[in-house]
Amino acid sequence: MVRITYIPSLLPGNVMYHCLYPSFRRRTKTETWTGRSGSPLLDYHFTEIRHVGLCSIFCKNGKRILGERVLAKLNSCYVYTCESRNPFLQIFFFTLLTGSLCIFFNTGWKEVPGPYLSSFHLFTIPLEVLFTYACYYIACAADPGIITKDNVKKYMELYPYDGLIFEAKDCTTCKIPKPARSKHCSMCKGCVARSDHHCAWVNICIGHNNHRYFLLFLFALWQFLLYGVYVCFQIYHGKVQSWGLSEAMIRDAATGQDVPLKFRKAMLYVLQEDRIVGALGILCAVVSVIVFCFTLYQLYLLARGMTTNEAFKWEMVQDAIYRGEIWKWVNSKSSSGSGYFYREFEPEETTRGIPPLKGARMVKDFAEVPNLYDKGIIKNLVQILFPTEV
Ligand SMILES: [Zn+2]
Ligand SMILES: [Zn+2]
């Protein structure tokens, strides 16, 4: 069987693409797949996911050992915990944040103002706390841009199909057309416009409407954590001063002479004596690095004009290019102007290296495949910060 799908494209120029599939078919060793990923190039990935041999072995034996009822209960627990919208991580984050703040106000607050912390911090610390809570609430509560029958037309106009990673199709669950860049979220129970990812920390999808609030929350959290590190450090710095450690001398074991106590050793001494503020400072430092890395990744994707969901799809495209499975087809006689072609071959039809259609040229470099949604850093940023009202 040879299947050819033609998808009209909005890309400039008479350009078409071919995709050959033999290599992934050999790799996955399964022919029973029905679902579509939303992209002709990515279906093979879902073929791999459906190849769940280990899981079926566990289910078979689990039923025998635990019994049907226990297994069903375990399954429903798993579905609620891992596959449904639940507030577990929200509660965890809220408890960690509130608990840490309670500990700080109980122990470190009395050190403000101190030798290295002016009374200005008596206002900025509560302000920072309120700002972080407010940003978190907004990120959790904002509508991500759920696609409905009423607004689907506007989203279709806003995000055209590129025919490579997004093709025209309906959502099988919502029974409405699926605009490009959207993704159905089984947890949010709907298709989300320009879906980035489902974030369990805010318990909602990040999409067209709330991406700006998510970035605001990341920024708020990151600067709050850095501020936390600064405050904890300066509290310790003040203790080094007030305990007289900055002028303290210690006897050098090697020379037998008295030498001034180094700042690093003085800080370690304070940490030994008063561990709580130090532990909070270290926690803030560790989490701030994680939040910073994640924010940096989000900004990188923003600069490249792609969402987290699309980054994954582009990776698949890149892999397909390296395997020599994507072909460029320039059709000057095409009445529709331009578009993509996707062709699926049976294993025996493998024609690696041979053009699937006359005149086709193998895409050898990822740079040859344009990203229709990348409008440049400034426009990408504006699109996220000021999304079109739908
Ligand atoms: Zn849907
Ligand atoms: Zn979601």
Please write the tens of the pLDDT for every residue from 19-65. Answer: 443 333 333 333 333 333 444 444 444 333 344 455 566 666 777 77
Query: Nearest bound ligand to CA 204?
Result: 2
Residue 378: per-residue pLDDT: 96
Please give the share of the chain, as a percent, with pLDDT higher than 90.
Answer: 50
Residue 77: per-residue pLDDT: 84
Å from CA of 207 to ligand 2 middle: 9
Q: Which amino acid is at 58?
A: F
Query: Nearest bound ligand to CA 210?
Result: 2
- Residues in the 5 Å CB sphere of ion ligand 2: 185, 187-188, 198, 205
Residues of the chain with pLDDT under 50: 1-52, 335-350
Å from CA of 36 to ligand 1 middle: 13
Compute φ and ψ for 110, nearest 5 degrees: -70, -15
Å from CA of 190 to ligand 2 middle: 8
HEC string of 213-260 equals: HHHHHHHHHHHHHHHHHHHHHHHHHHHHHHCCCCCCEEECCCCCCEEE
Q: Which helix (H) or strand (E) holds 48?
A: helix 43-50
Residue 54: per-residue pLDDT: 53
Å from CA of 141 to ligand 2 middle: 13
Residue 10: per-residue pLDDT: 36
Cis previous bond, 113, omega within 30 = yes
Compute φ and ψ for 160, nearest 5 degrees: -75, 160
Å from CA of 179 to ligand 1 middle: 10
pTM above 0.95, yes or no: no
Residue 12: per-residue pLDDT: 37
Residue 171: per-residue pLDDT: 95
Residue 365: per-residue pLDDT: 85
Residue 251: per-residue pLDDT: 84
Report d(CA 54, CA 48) in Å as an integer. Answer: 13
Query: Nearest bound ligand to CA 144?
Result: 2
Residue 229: per-residue pLDDT: 96
* pLDDT tens by residue, 241-287: 888 888 888 888 888 888 888 888 898 989 988 899 999 999 999 99
Residue 306: per-residue pLDDT: 95
Å from CA of 288 to ligand 1 middle: 35
Residue 291: per-residue pLDDT: 97
Residue 165: per-residue pLDDT: 87
Q: Alpha carbon of 214 to those of 68, 200, 263, 380: distances in Å?
A: 42, 12, 39, 16
- Residues in the 5 Å CB sphere of ion ligand 1: 171, 173-174, 184, 191
Query: Nearest bound ligand to CA 187?
Result: 2
- Which positions are catalytic? 199
Ramachandran category for residue 187: left, alpha or beta (phi over 0 → left; psi -120 to 50 → alpha): alpha
